[in-house]
Chains A and B, each alone.
Chain A
């Protein structure tokens, strides 16, 4: 009993450490800017400063950037999932000479830092007239998603017995049919894992977003805080409000799908 109590206390302390900065962030997003400079750690708001959120909503253009982020991230992870499934199938099931080499080459991409491609890609996109176009983010996001997704999916594929596909082929199913009708549903957990990992990476990515996108039309969410920090550098309440608004969507999505996400990571990681 004592042991259980200690265990739970310890876990709660660490949980609090993980959560405290967030609680603090939300707390101060409801306070006046000046309160930030006071001496209290947390403060019960005498009156909720909704104006902070009004400012954040209006001037931070959060809804627009949120939509852009959602669109770019979703497009990238979905295409990446399909492409890596196709690649994984070709690498684990198909028989061809350059298989090992090609796979190794793509796997090598896992260790290539995305920032190393920042400068040349910038020049490249300029040549192709892709600057200030969502594609300038979607394309590298997809490309850099491939190695890790392939690692997870092909690992998972190895564990699926081939007999199922063989019988499908007997029934006259084509390779594409096998992949999209039989393999796709079976690899869902692995695909989910890959998508989640990629989602977290790309949702957070902003150096490329900040460099490749110029007009506000396509800017992604992280930019909103950059913009806002410049414009409201003296108004901490408003800054905290915009940060809360950026943080919440992912937290809510995570809380809604926490089971699927954990199961996805578990399944993918164990088998992969």
Chain B
């Protein structure tokens, strides 16, 4: 045994040195990219037709037959039809696998030509800092009608690196039928929510579901809880900016306690800590949970044929229940996903051209709205038809009344390490694994990781 170890050690030493020697060639932003990723350029059969171009398009909209993914695919398909020389290859993964894979691409400096990105520091900042994203010219997209402020998250030092696709806000979806059948009233206040949860539990129905396995809905939920106790969305941002701490602050403590009250009332669906996006959505859509805390992009719930008609006709949405300090018009809202173009793309003009096409008002904004799949980050009032589903109208009402907004979810305002810590702290709190005090301490520990 000893003998091998010595030999192993010697071999390790040699190889480590070899690895060190190789470092310089791979460290930093090496622009020479792997040729295997270069788009195939097959000579065209017809004379005179433009060069064949393949764009790799990496999306986090995994479901290509419903909602936003369907529209994204439809626009891609129609673009390819209008431009036969362009082939757009889509790779689509669900949110978490998407982000993991995006990191894999980024660490090897081989980003696909167009990627879905988020205008939030946790995602976009490392990419911008290491020069992997193409700077965009805002004037190219003037006709798209982006809402003022929606491109801020995609900008750094006054330069634009991405385009927002959605206006996102977190709402409470509810299944009217379950409420009516059980003689329960839709909760108006935070206290009602606890009470309603107890009533549903007593009837053997899951009160609220959300995708706590991935974890990102929980910090936004906490922002609501925090706003409803203190009346101010900016308190968390202040802590992140170095003003004070989470621990020892009565407002944060009360907010954490209000989450714990929900947990004590067994408000969260069975198995919610291991429920991923699809599972939690199904639970609600199949009438197994009365409420669903999720973003407004789920307006498609009302039209998803996988769910029974009695659900589709009865799904509604409200803002998070209120308190004496926080009103329904105080909304956890932010500009969410969008797209960026890789700096190493071989066809920057073509990629920009496609983005221009994509964000033409009559494409993304119109189709997104009129199919009830979400809310664009572009002006869309001209596309209101008056024939929107009840759920959609409900969502418009929620959004239209906004008086204050939370902006970028606070777990996204830092590194991935920070983000993981913040989400894990929330999972523990929602899962009743720690006290509110310890929860705040964990948040402080996470904030300490920020530069």
Q: Do chains A and B touch in the complex (CB under 8 A)?
A: yes
A residues in contact (CB < 8 Å) with B: 33-34, 37, 59, 101, 104-105, 108, 122-123, 126-127, 129, 131-133, 210-211, 214-216, 226-227, 229-236
- A131 to B33, alpha carbons, bound, how many Å? 12
Nearest A residue (CB) for B98:
A230
- Quote the shortest CB–CB distance from B440 to chain A (angstroms): 34
- A23 to B7, alpha carbons, bound, how many Å? 52
Complex partner residue of A34 from B93, B105, B279, B308, CB under 8 angstroms: B308
Instruction: State whether A234 and B306 are in contact (beta carbons under 8 Å apart), knowing that A122-B104, A129-B35, A226-B97 are contacts in the complex.
Output: yes
Q: Are A216 and B63 in contact (CB under 8 A)?
A: no
Complex partner residue of A129 from B34, B62, B69, CB under 8 angstroms: B34
Question: A residues within 8 A CB of B288?
Answer: 37
Q: Are B8 and A230 in contact (CB under 8 A)?
A: no
Question: B residues within 8 A CB of A104?
Answer: 3-4
B64 within 8 A of A: yes
- A211 to B93, alpha carbons, bound, how many Å? 13
Q: Please give me the 6 A-B residue pairs with the lowest Cβ-Cβ distance, nearest first.
A: A233-B278, A230-B62, A234-B306, A126-B108, A230-B94, A37-B286
Q: Are B63 and A233 in contact (CB under 8 A)?
A: yes
Q: Are A129 and B36 in contact (CB under 8 A)?
A: yes
Q: Are B282 and A127 in contact (CB under 8 A)?
A: no
Nearest B residue (CB) for A102:
B7
Q: Are A126 and B110 in contact (CB under 8 A)?
A: yes
5 contacts between A and B (CB under 8 A): A126-B108, A131-B108, A211-B101, A226-B93, A233-B282
- Quote the shortest CB–CB distance from B13 to chain A (angstroms): 15
Q: Are A229 and B36 in contact (CB under 8 A)?
A: no
Instruction: State whether A101 and B91 are in contact (beta carbons under 8 Å apart), knowing that A131-B36, A233-B282 are contacts in the complex.
Output: no
- Quote the shortest CB–CB distance from A69 to chain B (angstroms): 19
Interface hub of A105, A131, A216 (most chain B Cβ within 10 A)? A131
Nearest B residue (CB) for A119:
B107
Q: Are B108 and A123 in contact (CB under 8 A)?
A: yes
- Quote the shortest CB–CB distance from A101 to chain B (angstroms): 6
Query: Which B306-320 residues have C-beta < 8 A from chain A?
Result: 306-308
Q: Are A230 and B286 in contact (CB under 8 A)?
A: no
- Quote the shortest CB–CB distance from B214 to chain A (angstroms): 13
B89 within 8 A of A: yes
Nearest A residue (CB) for B93:
A230
- A231 to B94, alpha carbons, bound, how many Å? 8
Instruction: State whether A131 and B89 are in contact (beta carbons under 8 Å apart), knowing that A229-B278, A230-B62, A235-B306 are contacts in the complex.
Output: no
B435 within 8 A of A: no
B24 within 8 A of A: no
- A122 to B288, alpha carbons, bound, how many Å? 42
Question: B residues within 8 A CB of A33?
Answer: 306
Interface size on B, residues (CB 8 A): 42
B 365-406 to A, binary, CB cutoff 8 A, 1 in contact else 0: 000000000000000000000000000000000000000000
B304 within 8 A of A: yes
B residues in contact (CB < 8 Å) with A: 3-4, 7-8, 22, 25-26, 34-37, 62-66, 69, 89, 91-94, 97, 101, 104-105, 107-108, 110, 277-279, 281-282, 285-288, 304, 306-308
Q: Are A233 and B26 in contact (CB under 8 A)?
A: no
- A229 to B96, alpha carbons, bound, how many Å? 13
Complex partner residue of B34 from A59, A122, A131, A215, CB under 8 angstroms: A131
Q: A126-B34, A230-B62, A230-B63 are in contact. List 8 more A-B contacts (CB 8 A).
A: A129-B35, A226-B93, A227-B93, A231-B65, A233-B278, A233-B281, A234-B285, A235-B306
Complex partner residue of A215 from B89, B278, B304, B308, CB under 8 angstroms: B89
Q: Are A231 and B63 in contact (CB under 8 A)?
A: yes
Complex partner residue of A234 from B92, B97, B304, CB under 8 angstroms: B304
- Quote the shortest CB–CB distance from B244 to chain A (angstroms): 38
- A14 to B317, alpha carbons, bound, how many Å? 48
Q: Are A214 and B91 in contact (CB under 8 A)?
A: yes
- A101 to B36, alpha carbons, bound, how many Å? 39
- Quote the shortest CB–CB distance from A119 to chain B (angstroms): 9
- A211 to B285, alpha carbons, bound, how many Å? 32
- A210 to B100, alpha carbons, bound, how many Å? 11
- A129 to B35, alpha carbons, bound, how many Å? 8
Q: Are A234 and B91 in contact (CB under 8 A)?
A: no
Question: A residues within 8 A CB of B37?
Answer: 132
Complex partner residue of B277 from A129, A132, A227, A233, CB under 8 angstroms: A233
Nearest B residue (CB) for A228:
B62
- Quote the shortest CB–CB distance from B370 to chain A (angstroms): 22
Q: Are A127 and B22 in contact (CB under 8 A)?
A: yes
Question: B residues within 8 A CB of A229?
Answer: 94, 278
- A98 to B153, alpha carbons, bound, how many Å? 61
Nearest B residue (CB) for A98:
B7
Complex partner residue of B26 from A127, A132, A210, A227, CB under 8 angstroms: A127
- Quote the shortest CB–CB distance from A56 to chain B (angstroms): 13
Complex partner residue of B8 from A105, A129, A131, A227, CB under 8 angstroms: A105
Question: A residues within 8 A CB of B25?
Answer: 127
Interface hub of A104, A234, A235, A236 (most chain B Cβ within 10 A)? A234
Question: B residues within 8 A CB of A129?
Answer: 34-36
Complex partner residue of B108 from A34, A122, A216, A236, CB under 8 angstroms: A122
Nearest B residue (CB) for A105:
B4
Question: A residues within 8 A CB of B26?
Answer: 123, 126-127
- A129 to B33, alpha carbons, bound, how many Å? 9
- Quote the shortest CB–CB distance from A64 to chain B (angstroms): 15
- A215 to B56, alpha carbons, bound, how many Å? 9
- A264 to B37, alpha carbons, bound, how many Å? 43
Nearest B residue (CB) for A214:
B91
